[in-house]
Amino acid sequence: DAFVRGRLLREEDVARLMKIADVARDAMDDDDDDDDEGRRRRAMEARKTMRATMRHHGRAVCETLLGTLSNVGATAATEHVLALVEAATRTNGARDDDERAEDEWLGVDAFVNYDPETCEDETMAAIGGAAEADAYRVLAKTLARPEDANSRFIKETASRTLRMMIGRRPRNGGGGAKAESVAHAVRTIVSWCGKELRARERGEERGDDVVPSVASALAGVLDMPEARALATNEGIVDGLTPILRASDRFSVQTMYEVALCFWLMSFSAEGRREMCARGAASVKALMSCAGAATKEKVIRACILALKNITDRHGVDGDAVGDNFTAVDESLRKLVHNLSLRGFEDEELASTLAELDEDLRARRKEASSWERYRDEVMSGSLEWSAAHKDEGFWRECATKLTDNNCQILRVLIKLIDGSETMDPKTLAVACNDIGEFAVHYPAGRFLANDLGGKEHSMRLMSHEDDEVRKSALQCVQKLLVASWRSLSAASE
């Protein structure tokens, strides 16, 4: 009544909303965990009714719902209308013999194809009852509402409906207003997902509750190249990486969609670089998720992403040079262990075989120095053979001074405390600085001038035993030429 009095809606629009609500109430009431067969049967019948309504009156339903959504501002009213929008798009379910499979998408397609420019109801348009924009823009505007006028239900329902609509977007590659609306909706979804993930990282109240909706929304749009670029800029890789390590807190479907996001983003060079940045944190998280997962579809998505990231030639001929050397050995072990599990999924088994072959070929092609350089530049170090190989250091110590001591400076940067590093990286970096000091003429003085001694001494009080031991040996090598006798005495 308030909407009618305020000339936001006509009486016939209210009547139409009430009819939609009556059908929607039964259509949405189909909980699979419910043992009430009669309730499920009513829900299926209601969906058939909704399909028939959308087939014959889809445009009018869209006009009413989108027009109402455009005009209401109250949170409760918006939630009610969005519930009806979702019910109108959920036309899947049992079909009669004369219905086609495509009829399951009648509801979504009606919103996808809705064009406000062809509104024929002059009275409705005159009072502002018709939507001023197509469904993509109306729902994007709803998703982007200010926090004080928003709710979890509004955000999740709007993003879910937009995801389905984007999946049914015209694929003819044409431009025009509709293509611009789709692009605007994609930008809104990616921006919203980035905002929600950053809020989760800050420990805000919504926490893990938002992850399923965010993962589902991103998985639905990242097949578009423009969405991948937006996601990289929004920090989606950083936001999703911790979730890969927390698989015990989320459903299998959510973890699959998170892994799927990484696979889709791995088709862009920018996305792969992000995954390899910050000590290859995302690559390690994908490996952790693949190793811990029990469902093949989750493992498959992780392995497909890892294969793209570690591809020597790049997905489109644009390989990431230092993409995975830091986790080379760990990745080979993971692939070997997964291969022993005898998966029934043929695609997964063949991908594991291809990845194993690619890792072997890459290792054979790369020299010891190239592998070492790539590992250092990745910012994440492991105890691979080169670090303890006297022959390697006798041959390659001088290369640490190339390009104005680039590699030496990176090693010292890893231990300077400006960024949080894992204990193993700190220990290996101290070891390498010490080896440089021993094997390069005047290496002790050069490393000290760049801050090696100062930062190594600070790590002598580190909480990790391995770091303390490696830092002590590094300081000994930096202080005196006869460090071996000094080390033996201290032991």
Residue 101's CB is within 10 A of a number of other CB atoms, namely 8
The pLDDT value given to residue 97: 45
What mean pLDDT, rounded, does the chain reach? 82
Rounded-to-10 torsion of CA 425, 430, 431, 434: 160
The pLDDT value given to residue 310: 81
Tokens of 39: 């309730």
Identify the band that residue 39 occupies on the pLDDT scale cut at 50, 70 and 90: low
Assign 3-state DSSP to the chain and report helix, strand, coil percentages, each to 5.
Answer: 75, 0, 25
Helices 225-233 + 236-244 axis angle, to 10 = 80
Most confident of 130-134, 308-312, 447-451: 447-451
The residue with tokens 């009819």 is: 19
Tokens of 322: 């230092």
The pLDDT value given to residue 360: 79
pLDDT digits (tens, 9 = 90+) for 269-316: 899 989 888 778 899 999 999 999 999 999 999 999 999 988 755 555
In angstroms, rounded to a whole number, what is the distance separating the alpha carbons of residues 393 and 433?
11
The pLDDT value given to residue 14: 60
The pLDDT value given to residue 126: 42
Looking at 123-132, 225-234, 257-266, which range is the least confident one? 123-132
Given a cut of 80, is residue 418 above it in pLDDT?
yes
The pLDDT value given to residue 169: 86
Most confident of 54-68, 96-110, 278-292, 455-469: 455-469
Given a cut of 90, is residue 451 above it in pLDDT?
yes
Largest Cα–Cα separation, the chain: 96
pLDDT digits (tens, 9 = 90+) for 324-353: 555 777 888 899 999 998 888 888 999 999
Looking at 22-31, 112-121, 419-428, which range is the least confident one? 22-31
In the chain, % of residues over pLDDT 90: 44
pLDDT digits (tens, 9 = 90+) for 71-91: 878 888 889 889 888 888 876
The pLDDT value given to residue 128: 44
pLDDT digits (tens, 9 = 90+) for 166-183: 998 877 655 678 889 999
Given a cut of 70, is residue 15 above it in pLDDT?
no
The pLDDT value given to residue 172: 67
Higher pLDDT, 87 or 483: 87
